[in-house]
Amino acid sequence: MDRAHQKNSSGKRILIAEDHKMMREGLRALLEEKLGYECVDEADDGYAAVNKAKEFKPDFVIMDIGLPNLNGIEATRQIKARQPEIEVVVLSMHATRNYILQVLQAGASAYLLKDSCLEDLAAALTAVGKGGMYLSPALSTAAALKNEAAGVSERNIADGQRCKSRLGNLMRAPRFERQAQPITRHVGNHARR
Residue 172: what pLDDT?
43
CATH of the domain at 151: 3.40.50.2300
Residue 65 lies inside a defined structural domain of this protein: yes
Each residue's pLDDT tens digit, 63-73:
999 999 999 99
Query: What's the number of domains the chain is made of?
Result: 1
| DSSP single-letter state for residue 64 | E
Residue 21: what pLDDT?
96
Domain that holds residue 73: 13-192
179 band by pLDDT with thresholds 50, 70 and 90: very low
Each residue's pLDDT tens digit, 18-57:
999 999 999 999 999 999 999 999 999 999 999 999 999 9
Residue 177 lies inside a defined structural domain of this protein: yes
- Above 50 in pLDDT, residue 61? yes
Residue 5: what pLDDT?
42
Please compute the mean of the pLDDT values over residues 173-183 and round it to a whole number: 49
Residue 156 lies inside a defined structural domain of this protein: yes
Residue 107 lies inside a defined structural domain of this protein: yes
Please compute the mean of the pLDDT values over residues 176-188 and round it to a whole number: 56
Residue 124 lies inside a defined structural domain of this protein: yes
Please compute the mean of the pLDDT values over residues 127-156 and round it to a whole number: 69
Those residues with Cβ within 8 angstroms of residue 172's Cβ, 6 or more apart along the chain or in another chain: none
